[in-house]
Amino acid sequence: KNPKWFNRDRFLLSAGHGSMLLYSLLHLTGYDLSLDEIKRFRQLHSKTPGHPENVLTPGVEITTGPLGQGFANGVGMGIAQKHLQALFNRDGFPIIDHFIYCICSDGDLMEGVSYESASLAGHLGLDNLIYLYDDNQVTIDGPTSLAFSEDVTKRFEAAGWEVSVVEDGNDLGAIEYAIAEAQTSTGKPKLIRIKTIIGFGMPKQGTNKAHSDAPGEEAVKETKRNLDWPENKQFFIPKDALAHFRKAVKDGAAREKDWNALVKAYEKQFPDLGKTLKETRSNELPQGWETALPKFDDVEAKATRAYSGDVINAIADKVPQLIGGSGDLTPSNNTYIKSSSNFEPGRYANRNIHFGIREHAMGSTMNGMALYGSVIPFGGTFQTFSDYMRPAIRLAALSHIRVIFVYTHDSIGLGEDGPTHQSVEHL
């Protein structure tokens, strides 16, 4: 009943076109999503848009649709969680100990942003990520073999991920076992490659016709017969099935109650940390933060990016939630927090992230960090290279999130670098 509980597992549907899977499970498990809303799927002003939107539907963590974005958002969530764990967890007090789950598709893994963010996640050792790859080998055009023939397992292993394979996507026990194994393994993010049949039970299962074509009334009836489901009942939910799923409400409430008790004990033993944790969880800026802003009354002649760096560092001392970096342009963007060091394995409490030359992943992981909550991410690059991350900028706006994009070298006077670096059309 509290979809914003701080220590909840995060579930991300990067394959946003499968939104009805998410909506149906949210309804079954007791979220504020009625059957009437399910019936209004893809209709204007409904809570069930064609692709999930975090601002519309309770229980939807991120806005997805453009493939690959959810994959990278999860990496950002993993970064935020690791940072907060390092700041607040203490022996006997695992205040933050959940996982981040993501379902991704063949299409997600074809997108460049998934390459970039997978590389970053492997490098950073984000073992709080458990990704389920829906390996059905079908896209809209036809079989994935038309355009996609690489060895996904080897690619992810090379990027520092642990990969396991479930041969039958209908073997729920095997999937459950793979997830349990992933939960206990440490040091690497995990990809569970699950071989599935698209449109299972439909007359056109296993083909691109089952991807997005309207099946028609007769095909729906045949599918129900194939699955031993009542042929003439619509939106039918067996009572025992609903009762089983609704147990999640009590289970979730019990876990949150236990967690609240743990936090109370934590606040007694670590009062200063407890106070900071409470402030951080509120997602509010610290009181009086604006007093840290530098005043430039007697303006010295220096680049605006240098002044930007002064502001970032002044704010960072007052706003501990601020964390970020640059796409390999830190000295040029002036985005380094001088009072901290590099965010890396074993040093996750630090606040300077080296995103590498991965502008798209930087933007999308920053979105994930903001959607996780309790951190304020920032990232810098040259303004002309904002083109490399435009989908992430657009989704940040659609998601109504607090992300700081730092774009320097925003002048048409950058003549020495040539027209490739001049942000003419951007201005």
Question: What is the mean pLDDT of the segment spanning 110-133?
Answer: 99
**Residue 15 above 80 pLDDT?**
yes
> Which of 145-154, 273-282, 416-425 has the lowest average pLDDT?
416-425
pLDDT at 106: 97
Dist. CA 378–CA 406, nearest whole Å = 7
Strand partners, 165: 193
Instruction: Grade residue 352 by pLDDT with cuts at 50, 70 and 90.
Output: very high
The CATH number of the structural domain formed by 10-135+137-195+237-247 is: 3.40.50.970
Instruction: Grade residue 88 by pLDDT with cuts at 50, 70 and 90.
Output: very high
Taking the domains of the chain in order of start, what are their residue ranges? 10-135+137-195+237-247, 289-421
Instruction: Grade residue 346 by pLDDT with cuts at 50, 70 and 90.
Output: very high
Residue closest to 353 by CA, chosen among 371, 383, 333: 333
Instruction: Grade residue 46 by pLDDT with cuts at 50, 70 and 90.
Output: very high
**Residue 221 above 90 pLDDT?**
yes
pLDDT at 301: 80
**Residue 418 above 90 pLDDT?**
no
Which tops the pLDDT comparison, 20 or 1?
20
pLDDT at 208: 95
Dist. CA 156–CA 166, nearest whole Å = 16
pLDDT at 299: 73
pLDDT digits (tens, 9 = 90+) for 135-181: 999 999 999 999 999 999 999 999 999 999 999 999 999 999 999 99
Cα 73 to chain center, whole Å? 3
pLDDT digits (tens, 9 = 90+) for 398-411: 999 999 999 999 88
285-320: buried (b, 16+ CB within 10 Å) or exposed (e) per residue? beeebeeeeeeeeeeeeeeebeebbeebbebbebeb
Which tops the pLDDT comparison, 303 or 129?
129
Catalytic residue of the set 111, 116, 162, 359:
359
pLDDT at 11: 98
> Which of 252-266, 279-293, 374-388 has the lowest average pLDDT?
279-293
pLDDT, mean over the chain: 96
In 10 A of CB 56, how many CB atoms? 13
**Residue 417 above 90 pLDDT?**
no
**Residue 359 above 80 pLDDT?**
yes
Q: Within 13 Å of residue 226, how many CA atoms lie on the same side as its CB?
A: 13
Dist. CA 30–CA 21, nearest whole Å = 15
Helix axes 271-281, 239-269, angle to 10 degrees: 140
pLDDT at 392: 98
Is 359 known to be catalytic? Answer: yes
pLDDT at 217: 92
**Residue 415 above 80 pLDDT?**
no
Return the CATH class of domain 289-421: alpha beta
* Lookup result for tokens 């022996």: 91
pLDDT at 39: 97
pLDDT at 231: 92
**Residue 219 above 90 pLDDT?**
yes
pLDDT at 365: 99
**Residue 255 above 80 pLDDT?**
yes
Please determine whether the domains at 10-135+137-195+237-247 and 289-421 fall in the same fold group of CATH.
yes
**Residue 48 above 90 pLDDT?**
yes
